[in-house]
Amino acid sequence: MSSLMNVINDPGFPAMSSLEIAGLCEKRHDHVMADIRNMFLQLEIQSPQFSGDYRDDRGRSYPCYQLPRDLCLTLVSGYNVVLRKRVIDRWLELEEAKKSPVPQSLPEAL
């Protein structure tokens, strides 16, 4: 399992990683990364705030992106309908999870 690091550290910031987008859309991660870079160029967006790294199962570090909802949906709007639907469904899950936060202490859990 890969792990993300050095990406947006705010737990209140809903975002989807380029790895998750690649998995949902059944695309290679390097192709999704290229699509994201192209989108950033066309929208004239500086990407450092969305950039990060992840470690693969062997501990090697690779670049990735964490996209907020608007950019994620902009990206996948160019993909086919079935793939777009998967990503939209995942966003709905993320938003629902944010509405029901995980208890941070025993009293909150009770």
pLDDT value at residue 38:
92
Q: Quick one: how far is CA 18 from the chain centroid?
A: 5
So what's the pLDDT on residue 4? 45
Q: Express each pLDDT in 12-46 by its tens digit.
A: 678 899 999 999 999 999 999 999 999 999 999 98
Instruction: Read off the tokens for 44.
Output: 């004239």
Q: Among 92, 50, 53, 85, which Cα is nearest to 71's?
A: 50
**What is the reported pTM?**
0.69
Cα(91)–Cα(83) distance, integer angstroms: 13
- Work out the average pLDDT over 2-8: 43
| pLDDT class of 95 with cuts at 50, 70, 90 | confident
The mean pLDDT of the chain is 83
